[in-house]
Structure 1
Amino acid sequence: MSSTTDFIAELIRAANGIEKLTHYEISRLLDLSIDTIRDMCRQTGVAGIHSARDVLIDLRLSSERARDLPPEQVRDALIDAADVLRSLKIVLDRNE
């Protein structure tokens, strides 16, 4: 498995066990998701697409407010990040 696939799995596991995570762990996962999504967007050439920027903004806000978000919103943010990463990975794999 690739490191991206491993990270996607980690995000899904975290979303399924949200009650076991600290606010720091949630922020760390979301921040790493943001960095990874930005990098993959650059690689695919979709860096300027509006929807990709929207997802990044939502993840940044979720990361900054992780302490105040209800568990279901944190879960949704982690799943959104995993979904975007999965889509970007598919695009990158097709281009190889």
Structure 2
Amino acid sequence: MSLTTDFIAELIRAANGVEELTHYEVSRLLDRSIDTIRDMRRQTGVAGIHSARDVLIDLRLSSERARDLSAEQVRDALIDAADVLRSLKIVLDRTE
């Protein structure tokens, strides 16, 4: 498995066990997701896309507000991050 695949699996596991995560752990996972998505976007050439509805904005806000999020909101943010990473991995795998 690649590091990206491992991280996607980690996000899914965390989403399935959200009640066991601390606010700090949620924030760290989301921050790692943001960094990884940015890096993968650069590799795919999608880095220049900035829209008001960019998932990175939502993930950043969720990371900053991790303490105030419900378990459902945390789960949704982690799943969103995993989904974006999975999509970017598919694109990168096709180009290699």
TM-score, normalisation: structure 1: 0.96
Cα deviation digits, residues 52-96 of structure 1 (max 9, x gap): 971000000000000001110010000000000000000000000
User: 25-34 vs 49-58, which deviates more?
Assistant: 49-58
**Deviation >6 Å, runs of 4+:** none
Could you list the runs of 5+ residues in structure 1 that have no partner in the other structure? none
Separation of aligned partners in 1, 2:51 and 2:16: 25
Aligned residue pairs: how many? 96
Could you list the runs of 5+ residues in structure 2 that have no partner in the other structure? none
Report the alpha carbon displacement of residue 6 of structure 1 after superposing the two structures with TM: 0.2
Percent identity, aligned pairs only?
Answer: 91
Report the alpha carbon displacement of residue 48 of structure 1 after superposing the two structures with TM: 1.8
Cα deviation digits, residues 17-55 of structure 1 (max 9, x gap): 000000000000000000000000000001122469710
Identify the residue that residue 82 of structure 1 maps to in structure 2: 82
Name the Cα RMSD after superposition. Answer: 1.4
